């Protein structure tokens, strides 16, 4: 599988995990954590658009950074719930 596709699917997987965590009825999140996760995932969208439209010159580095942003955003929401992604 192409590297860019693998990274994009990794980001999608993390985003889907965030959606799942947010949809749980017993979820209780602090505003600062929600704000941080929202900012990071918004930056992920911007990065992916830059890669897709060839605005980004170094796709590999951009995608690696995007995966890190998605992981940090995910971990901000589940940090006190014993499940984190590395």
**28-32, 45-49, 64-68, range with the lowest pLDDT:** 28-32
Q: What is the DSSP string of 12-31?
A: HHHHHHHHHHHH-TT----H
Tell me the angle at which helices 3-23 and 31-52 cross, rounded to the nearest 10 degrees: 150
Give the mean pLDDT of the chain.
Answer: 86
Q: What is the pLDDT of residues 8-27, one digit of tens each?
A: 899 999 999 888 888 886 66
| DSSP label of 30 | -
pLDDT band at 2 (very low <50, low <70, confident <90, very high): confident
Q: How confident is the model at residue 3 (pLDDT cuts 50, 70, 90)?
A: confident
pLDDT over 70 (residue 34): yes
Entry pTM: 0.80
């Amino acid at each position: 599988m192409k590297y860019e596709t693998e990274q994009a699917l990794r980001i999608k997987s993390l985003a889907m995990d965030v959606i799942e965590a947010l949809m749980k009825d017993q979820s209780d999140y602090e505003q600062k954590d929600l704000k941080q996760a929202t900012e990071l995932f918004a930056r992920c969208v911007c990065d992916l658009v830059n890669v897709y439209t060839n605005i980004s010159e170094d796709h590999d580095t951009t995608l690696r950074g995007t995966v890190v942003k998605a992981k940090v955003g995910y971990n901000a929401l589940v940090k006190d719930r014993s499940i984190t992604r590395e």
